[in-house]
Structure 1
Amino acid sequence: MMLTVFSSFPASAQNSTLERPARNAHDLEQMVRQDCGSCHGMTFKGGLGSPLLPENIAHYSIDDLTTIILDGLPGTAMPPWRAIVTPDEAAWMARYLKTGDPE
């Protein structure tokens, strides 16, 4: 017997382990600008969070930044975003922050 369940909850309210549709580059750029910028400064020069300019994060690898985006930094104001973004989206964001050209 096969049971099919349809949910009336939007994707953002569903269990984070369920597959979500991938965000496009424009949506991810807006997320970085708005969500990251709300703490790191709208020009990424710092605020509650440290600056995210390429020269400030040059010593981090893409993998390091991806992990920080996904898991946050304990003991700081940097929250984990794993429930909100996929590992691929976090890697895109890390490349965007490091190079300005995530593709």
Structure 2
Amino acid sequence: PKEPAMDRSLLIHVTVLLGLTALAVTSAPAAEPDSARQKDLIHLVRQDCGSCHGMRLAGGLGPSLLPEKMADWPDDSLVATILHGRPGTAMPGWQRFMDEAEAGWIVARLKQGFPALP
């Protein structure tokens, strides 16, 4: 049976609204981790990520994580890489050590210039 035009139009509008709502939710800024957790995350990046990306994050086995290299990469792609790794490469996923908001915080710090160890 053919759907009435009014119902189909309503369905399209609801679908668009849900999509925009999802987009707004995923692009909302994440809450900052507390200062103790920030120190843990800085240590993890400097030590664990630094073991492949270089202690100054300028590159090594893995590519540079300096702001000029990170600028053109979409944040959500970088978060996904941190959490899930890169199959077929030495890049592991880190999702058992952090959540999506914390990975987003790391991405934001990498794009600014990552802080030194406290």
Q: What TM-score comes out, normalization by structure 1 length?
A: 0.70
- Whether 1:75 and 2:88 are equivalent positions in the alignment is yes
- Whether 1:51 and 2:64 are equivalent positions in the alignment is yes
- Determine helix, strand or coil for the equivalent of 1:56: helix
- Structure 1: stretches of 5+ with no match in the other structure: 1-21
AA in 2 matched with 1:54: P
Q: CA RMSD in A?
A: 1.9
Where in structure 1 do 4 or more consecutive aligned residues deviate above 3 Å? none
Cα shift at 1:100: 3.1
Identity %: 51
> 1:13 matched to which residue of 2?
none
Higher helix share: 2
- Structure 2: stretches of 5+ with no match in the other structure: 1-33
Give a deviation string over 1:8-59, Cα, whole Å, max 9, x none.
Answer: xxxxxxxxxxxxxx76211111111111111100011111111111111211
- Determine helix, strand or coil for the equivalent of 1:68: helix
Contact 2:58 2:66 in 1 (8 A): yes
> 1:42 matched to which residue of 2?
55
